[in-house]
Amino acid sequence: MLRSPVPPTRRALLAAAVAAATVLLTTGPVAAEPDAGPTGPTDRQQQYAAAAAEYGVPESVLLGVSYLESRWDTHPGQPSTSGGYGPMHLTDAEQVAATPSSAHVDENEDPRGDESRPLVVDTAAAATPGDLLPQASLQTLDAAAALTGAAEETLRTDAAANIRGGAALLASYQKELAAPVGAGSDPAAWYGAVARYSGADTEDAAAAFADEVYDQIGQGASRTTDDGQRVTLAATAVTPDESGLHKLGLRRAERPDGLECPVRLACEWIPAPYEKYGPNSGDYGNHDLGERPAQQKIEYIVIHDTEGYFGPSVKLVQDKTYLGWHYTLRSVDGYVAQHIKAKDVGWHAGNWYVNAKSIGIEHEGFAGHGTWYTEAMYRTSAKLVRHLALRFQIPLDRQHILGHDNVPGILPGNVAGMHWDPGPYWDWSHYFDLMKAPFQSTGTPHTGLVTIDPDYATNRPAFLGCNQQPPGVPKPTPPAVPCPLRGSSSVILHTAPSESAPLVNDRGLRPNGTPDTMYISDHGARASAGQTYALAEVQGDWTAIWYLGQKAWFLNPASAPTAKWAQGFVVTPKPGKATIPVYGRAYPERAAYPATIPYQTISPLQYTFAAGQRYALGGVLPGEYYRAVSFDGSAPGDRTVVRGENQYVQMQFGHRVMFANLDDVLILPAAVGSPE
């Protein structure tokens, strides 16, 4: 995640935005109308039908495009990462320019997470300028205002006006392609206009967006929006005419052999450099070479957000003095750039054990700036992750598809500085639905496990400090301004079954034992959708889980449950052990290291795993350490994996996963000894 403030450079962006809007407005053939304000149908389904009829767009096309932009949600007045508003995602470059971008690491942070070869990155590198969005997507809000006569603020905040604006844009694109317009026109003939609406600057990205729209039209959809409106897209088989795509004049992305993306995904190879720099053998970047999975199994995929825009983030990953991750995804259209091959090890998670066994994926976005992640990006990310998970036999669950906020610190001193992206607004439940791995109830109140899964739209915790979060340790900075109430994947954890009870304490963040807070960057008292915990107790509408060595309570009424019952296995200390250590990495014992490789200390974290407590088992892992400290592999023992006799259990110990030595624990069915 990108965090440290950087001075924005936006003149080129705004100039491009004005130029793009001017071109669109001079070529758009639909006459503007006076702004009559938010009048017309109040039913959302009728609003789509009315806009489709007014501008001559097939209703199925309008509904399909809107679904791919926002799933018909309004996000009233709140922009996406791409500066897009409302159900039609009308974009405003000035909003993008006003949102602060950030650097990928904090000062003195080691994103490599390996004390045998610490990497301290110069955060000044984050000032690298770059285009924030493809020009085609910069300023559709202005264009829609000119085409409809509606005020820009109305288009931002009024769903009906926003839908009219989107319909007007689609109609103008269709006319520019000299294609038929009319509500009764063949939806198949609108492929080129739909592709242009994506805002993509490459032909394959525009096509991928249009393909998703037409796939959705074929499947149909029905859901209740974030403002309580029921909308339905009837399933209709359409074979689109793709000839209009090639009239858009978009560039063709570089897609060499060996690109590790699904065939239908818009993906380009933009490599991260593996180059030496500086006078020392340790000065190289920005990743390490490996031979995964032949040499070491890939266990995890780590989901990040960039805390910045796509263009500057891609420029950062091309800097040999910076750090590297495997993929970056763009918000406006879901476009994917691959930077590092899966066989090689990126420097992205701040934990060398996890880095050595993971693929890192950055998503253009902000964890706590009030912006929202686009449906186009969710969809392409889900397709990419599912493809990688199937290829490398990675389970599609929250024990293996981790947020950066689920990665533990390697040492007690690293815990407080670990990142918290993609944050509480990432919709994990929807994301796993898209991966065809939905969170399902597999148990009963007697099977001993719960999987967190609140209703995203209606679960709206009162977080504080959006767009105010300070770098480093999450501490409230007065005044802590309330965040806009919006859907969240997180449930809040209390010390007792009451809304008025203090939040639980994460001693890694607050060693003095004070409660954690509702500050947006303070995740020490939260559990997230898809995470599975051992059941500790139930009292009425409240459920307690074992969490960081304590009982943590969350509201879970039967009438509106925020978790699902699950079954599986738990770990608990072996009889006779009052407490056992908890680790942030699973390294081998000293005897496993050859003389050529320095021993990597097995250092426990500051948490306590006491007798009587239980934590959900995430897997049994070998103790491993991947040695990589020199550019050419010439250091003794370099590019080898040290394996020992030690085995570890991975467990959902708090918000982050952690590890315990297998010799210290019993593995039991969760139903054994579970609370009634």
Angle at CA 142, nearest 5°, toward 137 and 143?
75
Q: Which residues pair with 547 in a beta bridge?
A: 550
CA atoms within 13 A on the CB side of 205: 29
Confidence of residue 21 (pLDDT cuts 50, 70, 90): very low
Confidence of residue 533 (pLDDT cuts 50, 70, 90): very high
The yes-or-no verdict on residue 7 having pLDDT over 50 is no
Q: Are strands 336-338 and 327-329 parallel, antiparallel or unpaired?
A: antiparallel
**Mean of pLDDT over the chain:** 89
- Do 242 and 193 touch, CB atoms closer than 8 A? no
What is the tens place of the pLDDT at every residue in 652-662?
A: 999 999 999 99
Say which residue the tokens 């993929």 belong to. Answer: 327
The yes-or-no verdict on residue 216 having pLDDT over 70 is yes
Beta strand ranges found along 252-356 (DSSP E):
267-269, 275-276, 284-285, 287-288, 300-305, 327-329, 336-338, 345-346
Percent pLDDT > 90 in the chain is 77
Angle between helical axes of 375-392 and 59-70 (0-180°, round to 10): 70
pLDDT score of 522: 93
pLDDT score of 477: 55
CA distances from 286 to 276, 304, 343 (A): 9, 17, 15
Q: Are strands 358-363 and 550-555 parallel, antiparallel or unpaired?
A: unpaired
- The reply to whether omega before 79 is within 30° of 0 (cis) is no
Domains of the chain: 12-100+132-248 (1.10.530), 257-438 (3.40.80.10), 571-669 (no CATH)
The conformation of residue 123, written as its DSSP 8-state character, comes to G
Average pLDDT over residues 389-394: 98
Average pLDDT over residues 599-615: 96
The yes-or-no verdict on residue 113 having pLDDT over 60 is yes
What is the torsional sign of CA 178, 182, 186, 191? positive
pLDDT score of 41: 84
The yes-or-no verdict on residue 336 having pLDDT over 80 is yes
Confidence of residue 264 (pLDDT cuts 50, 70, 90): confident
Confidence of residue 11 (pLDDT cuts 50, 70, 90): very low
What is the tens place of the pLDDT at every residue in 134-148?
A: 554 568 999 999 999
Distance CA 273, CA 364 (A): 21
SS3 309: coil
pTM of the model: 0.92
Say which residue the tokens 């995740």 belong to. Answer: 523
Distance CA 503, CA 470 (A): 21
Distance CA 495, CA 505 (A): 8
pLDDT score of 8: 34
Surface-to-core class of residue 14, CB atoms within 10 Å of its CB (0-12 exposed, 13-18 middle, 19+ buried) = middle
